[in-house]
Amino acid sequence: MGLFGRKNSGDTATPESPAPAATPVDPALAALSGTYTIDPAHSGIGFTVRHAMVTNVRGSFTEHEGTLTLDGANPAASAAAIDVKIASVDTGIADRDAHLRSGDFFDTERFPLMRFRSTGASALGGDAYRITGDLTIKDVTRPLTIDLEFNGAATDPYGNERVGFEGSAEILRSDWGLTWNAALETGGVMVSDKVKLTFDISAIKSA
């Protein structure tokens, strides 16, 4: 059973029939409710973007922090806040990383952080969830929807109560003012507008 319980798609109410009784919350799920601090040593925030029209470049942001507020009884009350240090971008090529930090792309001296603040959450069934919120890159804030899968909960050997999620989202970088590009002689452009974001989150209960 997923963290936030299950939706019963067959439960419908009509004027002739009373609304179905609420499904009891599994006590094991309710016990997961609380505030969790993202563990950066066991979490990853990455991206994939098409390069030169023929291949994909993958990278990650190695420095980030955030919190999850989980409500096992009411998923709509759950929330997330994540701050990413953009200068920590790592694609494995130092010159490329320096270009990404420059004014052509992220301009990290003026805009050091990328921020996500959730505005809503919902259960999709099974272990699938969706979180919506506002993503800020540079001086632009736009809505972002992330589809997540709950990977489970466990107590680690040090006594920490952990939860895990993985998810993804697709954005157009131009929507956040990241428009630098170069034309190719054979047609097309050096860097695609579409970027896939990936999230692998391990978080420790703190309250």
Instruction: Give the model confidence (pLDDT) of 117-168 as tens digits.
Output: 999 999 888 888 999 999 999 999 999 999 999 998 999 999 999 999 999 9
Going by pLDDT thresholds of 50, 70 and 90, the confidence category of residue 207 is confident
Q: Find, among 149, 131, 2, 156, the residue nearest to 69 by Cα.
A: 131
Cβ-Cβ contacts under 8 Å for 102 (sequence gap 6 or more)? none
Sign of CA dihedral 91, 93, 98, 100: negative
Query: Does the pTM exceed 0.75?
Result: yes
Q: How many CB atoms lie within 10 A of CB 71?
A: 19
Task: Report the pLDDT value the prediction gives residue 9, as an integer from 0 to 100.
Answer: 38
* Average pLDDT value for residue range 179-195: 94
Task: Report the pLDDT value the prediction gives residue 126, as an integer from 0 to 100.
Answer: 82
Asked if residue 37 has pLDDT above 50, the reply is: yes
Q: How many CB atoms lie within 10 A of CB 180?
A: 15
Pull the structure tokens for residue 34: 């609380």
Residue found under tokens 């428009």: 179
The pLDDT tens digits for 62-94 are: 999 999 999 988 888 999 999 999 999 999 999
Pull the structure tokens for residue 184: 């190719």
